[in-house]
Amino acid sequence: MITVVDYGMGNIRSVVKAVEKYGPEVQVSDDPGSIKKSRALVMPGDGAFGMAMENLRRLGWIEELKRFIAAGGYFLGICLGFQLLFSSSEEFGHSEGLDVVKGRVVRFSRPGLKVPHMGWNTVNLVREHRFMQGVPTGSHFYFIHSYYPELQEGDWALGEVDYGVKFNCIIGKGNCIATQFHPEKSHNVGLRIVENFVGTVCS
């Protein structure tokens, strides 16, 4: 079973449809107890970092998510679900994250830069990973976000993009991968990441 985590931050429907395209057993759940029956977790999301962490805390997901990832569970984070893996965010003050990946999430601050970063951008791969097989470096993906991560652990880096500042937009290690962009909205090249993830989980 692949579980799409519903923590009240939207962007669920399109992600579920993308996962269902490649995997027959998909459920949406706001209950952390569903982890016990899950082979993989997918955590999408749009919205504010602090509110997302509060929702995860209220629903009882935080320790369960950290335990699942640390134990080598299959995990795919998308957009806000990518940012929440980091140690902290400066969005609307300071908020603690899941601290799975060391680093902080900061706002784009270059003068004259249009924020949010919205649209298609070129992503260059910096390291191979099985969830990225068949995805050429230099591929275009769809972004929409106002904050980006400052990664402190280089062994998590998989891909980077330049939008006024160069930052890591794909991170991954072991069975965990996460993207700042929306693979489910990035046509065939984005769906290839979903297909690779689901195919590995279901193999």
Is 128 marked active-site?
no
Q: What whole-number distance in Å separates Cα of residue 75 and Cα of residue 131?
A: 11
* DSSP label at residue 48: -
CA 101 – CA 174 distance, rounded (Å):
13
184 is catalytic: yes
Structure tokens at 187: 């046509």
Q: Which residue of the set 91, 169, 182, 195 is catalytic?
A: 182
DSSP 32: G
Please give the C-alpha separations between residue 117 and each of 84, 113, 161, 203, in angstroms, as whole numbers: 18, 9, 11, 36
Active-site residue flag, 169: no
Strands 74-78 vs 176-179: parallel, antiparallel or unpaired: parallel
Considering 64, 91, 145, 184, which one is annotated as catalytic?
A: 184
Residue 136 · residue 159 · CB < 8 Å: no
Residues whose CB is less than 8 angstroms from the CB of residue 104 and which lie 6 or more positions away in sequence, other chains included = 86, 87, 88, 89, 90, 149, 150
**159 neighbors 126 (Cβ within 8 angstroms):** yes
Q: Which of 79, 91, 145, 195 is catalytic?
A: 79
161-to-4, 27, 57, 157 alpha-carbon distances in Å: 26, 32, 31, 12
Active site residues: 79, 182, 184
